[in-house]
């Protein structure tokens, strides 16, 4: 298990040190959505270029802790090139990963378990659930992406531009 924890830690550090998809998009039809975590000051702006229901490009700006920045980098890599519906499914799977389930038999909290086979690099963030105050850091990018998709394309529709 220690080797897996080391791998997860390296994935997070790699995305923090070398974030993917940094920058801005400035083109007609680009959706710009801002997210903010008042608990620790993380700020993020997500720029989406969606055409014919596909996220053809995504860029990010902002600053914050290593968890929020790594998560935003991982999020952008996970949804770029996907359909809006696929992105929404990925958002939902990630949010499930960030939840803790109470067992019916006692009050012990058990994190949802994921691995690299099912979640890819996103599984590296599952350790965040051990620190509930950091869950908002990890989900900031995902909530901001979800808001951007909702604002631009409605809660149900995929839309196209």
- Evaluate if residue 109 carries a pLDDT over 50: yes
**What is the average pLDDT score of the chain?**
86
Pairing of strands 109-111, 100-102: antiparallel
> Residues near 44 by Cβ (< 8 Å), separated by ≥ 6?
34, 35, 36, 60, 61, 62, 64, 68, 72, 140, 141, 144
- Residue of higher predicted confidence among 83 and 130: 83
CATH of 2-153, one of 3.30.1490.100, 3.40.50.300, 3.10.20.30, 3.90.1010.10: 3.90.1010.10
Contact 102, 112 (CB under 8 A): no
Residues 35-62, mean pLDDT to the nearest whole number = 95
pLDDT tens for 126-150 read 889 888 889 999 999 999 999 999 9
What stretches of the chain adopt beta strand conformation (E)? 31-37, 42-51, 54-63, 100-102, 109-111
Q: What is the pLDDT of residues 1-47, one digit of tens each?
A: 567 788 888 999 999 999 999 999 998 899 999 999 998 899 999 99
Distance CA 64, CA 86 (A): 27
CB atoms within 10 A of CB 60: 23
Q: Domain coordinates of the chain in residue numbers?
A: 2-153
Distance in angstroms (rounded) separating the CA atoms of residues 153 and 159: 5
């Amino acid at each position: 298990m220690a080797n897996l924890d080391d791998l997860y830690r390296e994935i997070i550090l790699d995305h923090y040190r070398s974030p993917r998809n940094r920058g801005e998009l400035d083109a007609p039809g680009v959706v710009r959505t801002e997210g903010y975590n008042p608990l620790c000051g993380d700020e993020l702006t997500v720029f989406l270029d969606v055409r014919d229901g596909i996220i053809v490009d995504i860029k990010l700006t902002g600053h914050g802790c290593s968890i929020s920045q790594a998560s935003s980098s991982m999020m952008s890599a996970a949804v770029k090139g996907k359909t809006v519906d696929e992105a929404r499914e990925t958002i939902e799977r990630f949010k499930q990963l960030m939840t803790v389930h109470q067992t019916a038999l006692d009050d012990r909290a058990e994190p949802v378990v994921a691995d690299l086979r099912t979640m890819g690099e996103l599984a590296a963030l599952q350790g965040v659930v051990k620190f509930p105050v950091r869950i908002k850091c990890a989900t900031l990018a995902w909530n901001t992406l979800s808001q951007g998709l909702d604002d631009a394309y409605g809660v149900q529709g995929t839309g196209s531009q």
